[in-house]
Amino acid sequence: MLFTDSIAALSSGHLPSGVAIIRISGPHVRFALETICGSLPQPRLAHYGALHASDGRVIDKALTLFFPGPNSFTGEDCGEFQVHGGRAVVATLLAEISGLPGFRQAEAGEFTKRAFLNGKIDLLEAEALADLVNAETEAQRQFAVMNSGGAQSEFYLGWRRRLIHARAMIEAEMDFADEGDVPGSVSTQVWRDVKLLIEEMNRHADGYGKAEMIRDGFDVVILGAPNAGKSSLLNALVRREAAIVTDEPGTTRDLVEAVLDLDGMKVRITDTAGLREPTGKVEAIGIERARERAKGADLIVLLEDMTSPVAVLDIPAGIRNLRIGNKLDLSASPEDGRYAASISTKSGEGLDRLLDMISAMAGEAIGQRGDVLPSRLRHVELLQQASGYLELALSTQDLVLELKAENLRLASDRIGKLSGAVDVEDLLDVIFSQFCIGK
Ligand SMILES: Nc1nc2c(ncn2[C@@H]2O[C@H](COP(=O)(O)OP(=O)(O)OP(=O)(O)O)[C@@H](O)[C@H]2O)c(=O)[nH]1
Ligand SMILES: [K+]
Ligand SMILES: [Mg+2]
C-alpha cells in the first residue's frame, strides 16, 4: 500500500529531555531531509549538522538518520532527527516539517499502522509492540518481546496450515466422491486432527487469564478483623504510607490499592475495611466493598492479630488464601500451626517469607515464562469462533461434505484474522488508536 501523505511526530518521551527524537515517514521524507539538513544523509548512517528553518535560521545541531524504504520500520522512506530535547527546539522543528508540502502530524499508532499495512509486521506483532511500549515489569517485557518477534504469529500459522490441509483433503474427497471412490482413511485422519485442534484451541484460549494476570497483575486482597494490621501490612509491602494506620478499629473504610513489582511480576495489593458488625453507614458500605472485592481476588491474605485472634472464616469459596498471624513482636507463641506464616509489620520480621509465598503463588498462576498466550480479548473471541466452526464441521451430517469444508474454511478464516492475514479493515482503528503518538 502506498500513502500519498507523509507523517511526523515526536517519538521520544516527555519534554524537556536530554535528546528528543522526531520521526518522519512517507513519500516526502527525502525532500524534507534535503531541505532541513541541506543534503540527504547516507542511508542508515548518522549525519551530524545544523538543521535549518525555511528562513535560514539554525534550529539546532543534531543527528539525522535516513532509512530508505522498503527496508525501514514503516516500509516507506523514514527519517529521524535526534535533537536537543527542549520544548522550543521540538516545537520549531515540528512546525517546520509540518509546513513542508505533503506533511502532517501523525495520529496515535500511525507509524505502526503503516508498518502493518505495508506488510512489515502482522497484527499480532503490532499489538505486541504496543505491549512492549507499555511494559512495566520484566514478565510483561518478556511476554511482549517474544510476541513482537513473531512467536504468537508462528503459533497460529501452524494451526492455519493444519486447517488448510484438512480442507484440501476434504475437498479432494468431494472430488473422489463424484467418482464413487472414497478413501475413508484419509478423512478419518483429518477429523481426528480437527478434534485435536478444537482441544488445543480451547486450552489455549483458557490461557487468556494468565495473559491478563501478566498485564493487570496478580490480585491480592487483605482481609481481617479491625486492627489486625491490614493497612500496616499494605504499607510494609509497598514501602510507603499508602493507607492510613491508627490504633482505632475501623480506620480503613474504602479499598486502598497499591502495586508491587515482585520478582518481575506485577502484583496488586488491596487493603480493605476490617470485617465486623458495622457501627455506621460508611463502615457498612466499606465492609460490603471488601467482601465484593475479595470475590475477584487471585489470593486472599487473611490477617489476624495473634495477641487477640479473630479469625475471618466466611471468605469467598474457591479462592486461594493464606492465613497470616501478625504482631509477632508482641506474641508469646510465635510458632502457631494455624498460620502459614507469622509476621510483624512493625519489626519487619517474616515479611520476606510472606513475599516469597506470594511470589511463588503468582508465578504458579502466571505459568511458565515463554508460554504463548492469547493477549487480547479479540484473540479469545476469534479462537472461540474458530473452534465453534470446527465443532460444526465435526457434527454436520457425514454426507454433507460441502458444509464441512465450508466450516473448515470459516475456522481458518478466523485464525487468519488473528494476524491480519484475512481482512480486518473494521478492526484497525480500534487497535491502532490504543498506541501513543509517534509509535
Ligand atoms: N506491635 C505491633 N503493632 C502493630 C503491628 N501491625 C500493626 N500494628 C498496630 O495495630 C494498629 C492497627 O493497625 P492497622 O494497620 O490500622 O490495622 P487495620 O487492620 O488496617 O485496621 P482497620 O483499618 O481499622 O481495620 C496500629 O496501632 C498499628 O500500629 C505489629 O506487627 N506489631
Ligand atoms: K486501625
Ligand atoms: Mg486499615
pLDDT of residue 176 exceeding 90 = no
The candidate with the shortest Cα–Cα distance to 151, out of 373, 376, 383, is 373
Q: Is 252 annotated as a binding residue?
A: yes
Q: Is 295 annotated as a binding residue?
A: no
Does the pTM of the predicted model rise above 0.80?
Answer: yes
The candidate with the shortest Cα–Cα distance to 328, out of 222, 236, 258, is 236
pLDDT at 396 (0 to 100): 74
pLDDT of residue 1 exceeding 90 = no
Indicate the pLDDT class of residue 371, thresholds 50, 70 and 90. confident
ipTM of the modeled complex: 0.99
Q: What's the average model confidence in pLDDT over 75-83?
A: 98
Per-residue pLDDT tens digits for 252-281: 999 999 999 999 999 999 999 999 999 999
Which atom in ligand 1 lies closest to the alpha carbon of residue 233?
A: 15
The candidate with the shortest Cα–Cα distance to 275, out of 329, 227, 210, 325, is 227
Pocket, ligand 1, Cβ cutoff 6 A: 224, 226-232, 245-247, 249-252, 273-274, 326-327, 329-330, 344-346
Domain around 67 = 6-106
Which atom in ligand 1 lies closest to the alpha carbon of residue 225?
A: 25
Task: Give the CATH number, domain containing residue 383.
Answer: 1.20.120.430
Residues 228 and 362 in one domain: yes
Residues 242 and 342 in one domain: yes
Specify the pairing of strand 103-105 against strand 218-224.
unpaired
Asked if residue 187 is part of any domain, the answer here is yes
- The total domain count for the chain is 3
Q: Is the alpha carbon torsion for 330, 333, 339, 341 positive or negative? A: positive
Q: Give the number of residues written for the chain.
A: 439
Task: Give the CATH number, domain containing residue 65.
Answer: 3.30.1360.120
pLDDT at 415 (0 to 100): 95
Residues 191 and 243 in one domain: no
Helix (H, G, I), strand (E, B) or coil at 18: strand
Indicate the pLDDT class of residue 423, thresholds 50, 70 and 90. confident
Residues 236 and 338 in one domain: yes
Q: What's the average model confidence in pLDDT over 372-381?
A: 95
pLDDT of residue 183 exceeding 80 = no
205-210 contacts, C-beta under 8 A, 24 or more apart:
205/374, 205/379, 205/380, 205/383, 205/384, 205/387, 207/367, 207/371, 207/373, 207/374, 208/373, 208/374, 208/377, 208/379, 208/380, 210/365, 210/366, 210/367, 210/371, 210/373
Point out the least confidently predicted range of 17-26, 59-68, 255-264, 418-427. Answer: 418-427
